[in-house]
Amino acid sequence: MRAGAESGWDFSSRWLRDPRSLATIHTTDIVPVDLNSLIWAMERRIAARCQTAGDTPCATAFTTLATKRKTAIDRYLWQATTARYADWDLSTRIPTTSINAAMLHPLFVGLASPAQAKAVAATVRKSLVAEGGLRTTTLNTGQQWDEPNGWAPLQWVAIAGLERNGEPALAKDIARRWLGTVGAAYADTGKMLEKYNIEQRIPGGGGEYPVQDGFGWTNGVTSAILDRFPDLAQPSTSVRK
C-alpha cells in the first residue's frame, strides 16, 4: 500500500493481481516503466554534468548505468507483439496485462526508438484516447488512477513525448481534448480540479478521498499546453492562470 502511494498512482489496477480488489495489491513486485524511464533520464543528466565538470570517472559510471538500464527496459518492458511498453511482474516473470499511460514515459524522456515510438502511438490511438483526453488505464475499477479519470501530468507526458517523437498531430489532438475537459468543468464549477472524468468531461471521482480543488499540476499543465498550442485557446477552453 505504501509503495503504491509513493508511486504517485494511488491506487491503480496496475498494482493489483485482481483489478477489482485492492486487497490484492502487490506494488513491490512490479518493475514500472515510468519510474525506470525517469531514472534513465536522471542517469544521463548526471553523466552529462559530470562530463562538463571534468569528472570522467563519474561520467563513465553513470553512462554505464544508463546504458544497462536501457538494455533492460528494451529486454523486459518493451513488448513488440502488443506495441507497448509494459510493467514487469517479478512474481510471475512476465509483463503485466495493464494497458496504461505509463507507456508514454520512454517517449517523454527520449528513450524510445523511432519504431517503438510509432508503435506506442498506434496503441495510444486505439486504446487510450478518450473524448476528453488521455485515459490513465483501460479498466474502470473505482480506483482513482484508472479509467475514466484523466490526470494532468499524464496528459503532459503524452503530449510532449508524442511531439518529440514525430507524432505532432496526435499530441495536439490530446491537448485539444484535455483543454475541452478542463474548460467544461471550469465553466460548470468555477474551479481547476485535481482530476477529471474524461469520458464525460466532469470532475473526477473514485479513490479514497473527494476530488480536490486547485490544483497545481492542472493549472501548470493547462498553461503549458496553451503556451505550446495558442490556437487552442478558444473561449470554451480558456481558464484563469
Query: pLDDT digits over 130-161, tens only?
Result: 999 999 999 999 999 999 999 999 999 999 99
Percent of the residues in the chain that have a pLDDT greater than 90, as a whole number: 94
Percent of the residues in the chain that have a pLDDT greater than 70, as a whole number: 97
pLDDT-derived band at 189 (thresholds 50, 70, 90) equals: very high
Q: Which residues make Cβ contacts (< 8 Å) with residue 136, sequence separation at least 6?
A: 9, 12, 100, 101, 145, 146, 147, 149, 150, 151, 154
Of the candidates 10, 43, 87, 146, the residue annotated as catalytic is 10
Segment 98-134, tens digit of pLDDT: 999 999 999 999 999 999 999 999 999 999 999 999 9
Q: Taking the model in full, what pTM does it have? A: 0.94
Q: Which residues make Cβ contacts (< 8 Å) with residue 159, sequence separation at least 6?
A: 171, 172, 174, 175, 225, 228
| Contact between 137 and 99 (Cβ < 8 Å) | yes
- What pLDDT was estimated at residue 240? 39
In the annotation, is 194 catalytic? yes
Mean pLDDT of 205-221: 92
Of the candidates 146, 163, 167, 194, the residue annotated as catalytic is 194
In the annotation, is 55 catalytic? no
Label residue 65 exposed, middle or buried (CB < 10 Å: 0-12, 13-18, 19+): middle
